[in-house]
Chains A and B, each alone.
Chain A
Amino acid sequence: MERVEYGLLLAGAIICAYRAIVSKRILSSTIYLACISALISVVLFMLGATQVAVMELSVGAGLVTVLLVYALSVVGEDALDPSSVISKPLAIAVVAVVTLLLGWMIYPATQFENLMGSVDLASVLWQQRVLDVWIQIVLIFSGVMGVLGLLSERTPGKAEGGHS
């Protein structure tokens, strides 16, 4: 029964991803991106990764969507995606080759019999992967700087004028 659920959730995520890419209006793409996050977080929850599922749902479907909508409101109505530089058949051919290569590389993973594993995120995160926590803190600090850049109203011309 879980096979059907996994299949439906992942098929929905793939369809949403395709719609997000081919949609001409970027606001629609943003909504599709939030849908992908929600579907992926359900899959993560079903796999037993509850903490990451909550993180993905709150960050992917919440924070990133809000940031994208805000950026779209700043850049205005001309945020339409123009047609691609390379031809679509060429892009499809390149992607098919890359995807087949990737599938061939991960084929040995299909030999696993069952899904298994235990949930012990706290001990792994705070004992084995402490460096990751510090890196995350540094990254969050960089993100705050990025938000300040996003919210900044100052133009380069005015900044140069202020120094003179």
Chain B
Amino acid sequence: MKLTEINIILIGIVSLLGVGFYGLLITRNLIKVVMVLQILVKAVVLAFVFSGKVSGNLGLGQSIAATVIVADTIVAVVGLALAVQVRRRFGTLDAPEISTLRG
């Protein structure tokens, strides 16, 4: 397989997704989970723009990527708000510890 621009970008997208998946598996802190989701969405935004570019419809790729960026930002805001409220209520940000709490 020749290392063309397309192949390099595809390898970059898949690698970034892989690192994001790994982070999602090993992360326990709620704020860090939000950050890992950001990493995953950045790879997806790149994939949307790239697919729009290679299919000859960059405008459509950009449009969907813009929507994804907005949705991702809202997810980050709401997730951080939830994390802060969980920290105030339970005194911890550790996800397994929160799931075992009662009362």
Contacts and interface: CB of A to CB of B under 8 A. Distances in A.
Interface of A: 2-3, 6-7, 10-11, 13-14, 17-18, 20-21, 26, 29-30, 33, 36-37, 40, 43-44, 47-49, 51-52, 55-56, 59-60, 63-64, 67-68, 71-72, 74-75, 78-86, 88, 91-92, 94-96, 98-99, 102-103, 106, 109-110, 112, 115-125, 128-129, 132, 135-136, 139-140, 142-143, 146-147, 149-150, 152, 155-156
* Interface SS of chain A: helix
Contacts of A88: 26
B51 to A, nearest CB: 8
Given A67-B77, A117-B53, A98 B18 contact: yes
Contacts of A67: 76-77, 80
Contacts of A120: 58-59
B18 A44 contact: no
Given A49-B65, A129-B63, A17 B74 contact: no
Contact of B15 (A14, A136, A146): A14
B73 A80 contact: no
Given A49-B65, A79-B29, A86-B25, 15 more contacts: A3-B4, A7-B12, A14-B16, A21-B26, A26-B31, A44-B49, A71-B84, A82-B28, A91-B26, A99-B17, A103-B14, A115-B6, A119-B58, A121-B63, A142-B74
A95 B35 CA distance: 18
A107 to B, nearest CB: 9
Contact of A14 (B6, B19, B81, B94): B19
Given A21-B23, A52-B45, A110 B74 contact: no
A56 B14 contact: no
Interface residues of B, number: 75
Given A49-B62, A85-B96, A149-B78, A6 B5 contact: yes
Nearest to A126: B63
Interface in B49-76: 49-67, 69-71, 73-74, 76
B67 A132 contact: yes
A96 B20 CA distance: 12
A94 to B, nearest CB: 7
A99 B18 contact: yes
A13 B52 CA distance: 21
